[in-house]
Amino acid sequence: MILFVAMSKPGEDYLQRAAESYFKYKVRFEQVSGRPGLIVRYPQVTPEFVSRYPFRAIFIGGFGYGWDEIDLPDLYGLYDVLHTTTLPVLGACGGHQLIGHAFSEDFRQVETLADEPMRQLEPGEPDWEPDYHPGWFVEKGMQPVQIIQPDPLFAGLPETVYVYQNHYCEVRQLPEEFVLLASNENCAIQAMRHRQRPIYGVQFHPEAYTNEYLHGRQVLENFFRLAERP
């Protein structure tokens, strides 16, 4: 079974969000992995919860709101999972940034987590997303990413992959326990991996592949292949 951690905004219509995107990606995970998936909102995810199910891997999704909108204690359980699990973990976009925070800060010792925007728009630079963090650069659409460190996550892929992006924040500093795997000109840390455990973060959305751009699907296939190892 695959655990899909939904980072839905506190107070939003969870069923609507599930119908619009979560179920779609759950089906994709099931198709790619050959295993059933379970969607769970992040406040419910704790080591005790994870231990009750036969999970083989954990996927942490993205979100489009600020870190200051999260009640930090709601993340304590997921923070504990990240620091104790032996399961393969893949965080995408906001999930990637969550992993970056979790291995750089003690969630129980800080009041809130801060957004880490890539950069402000230059004078005269068009704002293609005026309703999404106006005034800030947003990396959006199918974008090239350069693989700079060989890794099973990118097995069978070329040195440059095209994957879907939709973010204005990034992981600015690589956590000490992680190694850099991929980058591009907009965002230095496009992919990273824990040095000792199969915990990955990718700034892009591998689940948002299309028939024309299938590199994201290959990333998922490679990740779920890790979950099948003894």
Backbone angles phi, psi at 30, to 5 degrees: -65, -40
Out of 96, 167, 207, 215, the active site residue is 207
Q: Is residue 205 flagged as an active site residue?
A: yes
Q: Give domain limits for the chain.
A: 2-227
26-59 residue pLDDT tens: 999 999 999 999 999 999 999 999 999 999 999 9
Out of 170, 205, 215, 221, the active site residue is 205
Which residue has 């619009």 as its token pair?
Answer: 20
Q: Is residue 129 flagged as an active site residue?
A: no
Q: What's the rounded Cα separation, in Å, for the pair 44 and 14?
A: 14
Q: State residue 49's pLDDT score.
A: 98
- 199-202 and 89-92: which strand pairing? parallel
Greater model confidence, 157 or 229: 157
Q: Is the pLDDT of residue 137 over 70?
A: yes
Average pLDDT over residues 114-129: 91
| Confidence label for 93 from pLDDT (cuts 50, 70 and 90) | very high
Superfamily classification of domain 2-227? Class I glutamine amidotransferase (GATase) domain (3.40.50.880)
Out of 93, 101, 169, 187, the active site residue is 93
Q: Is residue 93 flagged as an active site residue?
A: yes
Q: What is the pTM of this model?
A: 0.95
Beta bridge partners of 185: none
Amino acid at 57: A
